[in-house]
Structure 1
Amino acid sequence: MATLQPLFNAITVIFIAATMFTAGLGATLPALRAIFAKPLFLLLALLANLVVVPLLGWGIAALFGLPTAAFIAMVLVASSPGGPFGAKLGMVQKGDVVAGAAMQVLLAAVGSVTFGLTANAVLTAAKVAAGISLDVAALVRTVAVLQLIPFAIGLIVRHYTPPTAQSWRPVAAGVSNVTFLIVLAGMLLGNWHDVVALIGSRTLLAGVVLSVAAFATGTVLATGSLVRRTTMGGVAAVRNAGPALAAVGIAFGNTPGVLGALAAVLLSGLAAAVTIAAVLSRRRAGGTT
């Protein structure tokens, strides 16, 4: 893995930038303004994703007595809102797709700034491994540059030349999806000893519990119809892998144990969120909700 580390880092950067560029190409100013026009809706979503879910990650990691690497992975994932698949879950569950997509990109943008502060605060308060302290300034700079600038460029293209944005978006989304799969495969294969060791462990279960708890939190702390509220639940359940990967590289030198635990938490959480969305979709297709 060490010899391929520069390639892994480069693909990770491409994944983060392509994901946010795609989000910008798909966002519209009216949709983003609509969120700010509902202060309570916005405030509750920010509370759920920026405060409650990180605290849930800390609490679940402590409750399950996770080892240091898995504890760190849980906190990093929980502290990183705005995962791009959250918007897709709105489609899967036949939810409020417009509100879900707008909230997802807003949370990803805000999370670029809050992620390092939140993760550092939780890890310091939890006194993990004698009190790990992240380089918050470096994290904020790196994540903000990798996320905010590509998003802003995509948003500008969408605003001024919608046909160009429409033609570019499938390509950008393809790059994002392919690089995410490569990064995930690299995390799994490059650290397979650590990943295999997690099979049957509490780490996978903790990832599922975090996702379910986040889905419930996002749904409860939302306003509007049940369809809109469960859409916000899906957005809360899927966290943003980009900042977490950046933190593992910057603060932990891509430690295999942390990378393996991060992959396990992300995959188990995503599986749980997709299952919930699929159940909601079937119920809505049958007219029961």
Structure 2
Amino acid sequence: MVEATVGGIVDFTTTIFVLSTMLSMGLELTIGQLMDSLRKRRLMAKSLVLNLVAVPLLAYLLVRILPMEAGYTAGFLLIAMAPGAPFGPKLAEISESDIAFASGLMTVLGFVSVVTIPLTVALLMPGDVAADPLGIAWLVFAVQLAPLVVGLVIDIRSPLLASRLYPPIQRLSNFSFAFLIVLLLVVYIDEMVLLVGTGALLVSVVLVGAALLLGYSMGGPAQDTREVLATTTAARNAAIALFIATTSFTDPNVLTVVLAFSFIGVVASGLIAGVWRQRVPR
């Protein structure tokens, strides 16, 4: 009974976090930012290939080279398959990079991931892992794409209303995220400790490092866009990955690895964004 109650709280908090995060993204983004990002066609194409193809394939190769228990493998692949970090614009703000491109890229990835996440799950998830690609597609549509579109529509039709709604919804996103992290740490602290020696932390560090390097090298000639692509690619979309892990998988190891990877990705990206902030002004 207690476990069921705790599980329900985790599911509810995760849902609130994802819905408020995606809605706030839609309310904040302007059509101008989205169009400016789309006009950078070559850079956008490379960004999509890196986030949607290269990172999931690299994750798949890593788990083939360094095999792990099925639940750890599923969690690692799941977070690798989830592009479009909601933290992208915030990381760009920290590094004083191209915030408009970060917002546009995050939105484009949010749209296309409705198709790519279930597709990569079907193609790359090991056969011994129970996963429902169609069910995951519906989840991604319902909790990621739908609120994002609602936010965009509100912003287009009534910018004043969007500006009024954004602050409280953004605060709800921040508070629910903080509460969720604390809750997950309390509930899964024993499982987190057990990750040591499983290989899950090692492959997470390797993938985050590779994503940073690849993003920086493929981010075009401008320093601003290099930094954005590096941090956005490395952080991944913890929001949707946590939601899928809590609602579509019964093995707690899946959620544990998603949580661990999210910490590593966000912390590493945040630290390097802080380093870039200290660069000599151009």
Which residue of 1 is the match for residue 103 of structure 2?
101
Between the aligned partners of 1:145 and 1:224, the Cα distance in structure 2 is 37
Taking the TM superposition and a 5 Å limit, the aligned residue runs for 1:59-70 are 59-70=61-72
Which residue of 2 is the match for residue 256 of structure 1?
252
Q: 1:267 aligns with which of 246, 255, 263?
A: 263
Q: 2:276 aligns with which of 260, 280, 289?
A: 280
Which residue of 2 is the match for residue 30 of structure 1?
32
In the alignment, structure 1 residue 138 sits paired with structure 2 residue 140: no
Q: Which AA in structure 2 matches 1:257?
A: N
Once the two structures are superposed, what CA deviation does each residue of 1:152-211 show, in whole Å capped at 9, x if it has no partner?
111111112222212221211111111122222232221222111124653223222211
Q: Which AA in structure 2 matches 1:82?
A: G
Q: Is the 8 A contact 1:116 1:134 kept in 2?
A: no
Q: Which AA in structure 1 matches 2:208?
A: S
Q: Which AA in structure 1 matches 2:32?
A: P
Which residue of 1 is the match for residue 121 of structure 2?
119
Which residue of 1 is the match for residue 228 of structure 2?
231
**1:133 positional shift:** 4.7
Between the aligned partners of 2:62 and 2:182, the Cα distance in structure 1 is 26
**1:52 positional shift:** 0.4
**1:88 positional shift:** 1.0
In the alignment, structure 1 residue 183 sits paired with structure 2 residue 180: yes
In the alignment, structure 1 residue 204 sits paired with structure 2 residue 201: yes
Over 4 Å off, 4+ runs: none
In the alignment, structure 1 residue 57 sits paired with structure 2 residue 59: yes
**1:47 positional shift:** 0.2
Between the aligned partners of 2:36 and 2:220, the Cα distance in structure 1 is 14
The gaps in structure 2 that reach 5 residues or longer are none
Q: Is the 8 A contact 2:68 2:198 kept in 1?
A: no
Q: Is the 8 A contact 1:53 1:217 kept in 2?
A: no
User: Could you tell me the TM-score, scaled by structure 2's length?
Assistant: 0.92
Which residue of 1 is the match for residue 10 of structure 2?
8
Q: 1:192 aligns with which of 189, 194, 217?
A: 189
Which residue of 1 is the match for residue 48 of structure 2?
46
**Would the alpha carbon gap of residues 92 and 205 (structure 1) be closer, same or farther in structure 2, given more than 3 Å must change?**
farther
Report the number of matched residues. 280
**1:272 positional shift:** 1.4
Taking the TM superposition and a 5 Å limit, the aligned residue runs for 1:78-93 are 78-93=80-95
User: Could you tell me the TM-score, scaled by structure 1's length?
Assistant: 0.90
Between the aligned partners of 2:49 and 2:164, the Cα distance in structure 1 is 36
Which sits farther off after the overlay, 226-235 or 46-55?
A: 226-235
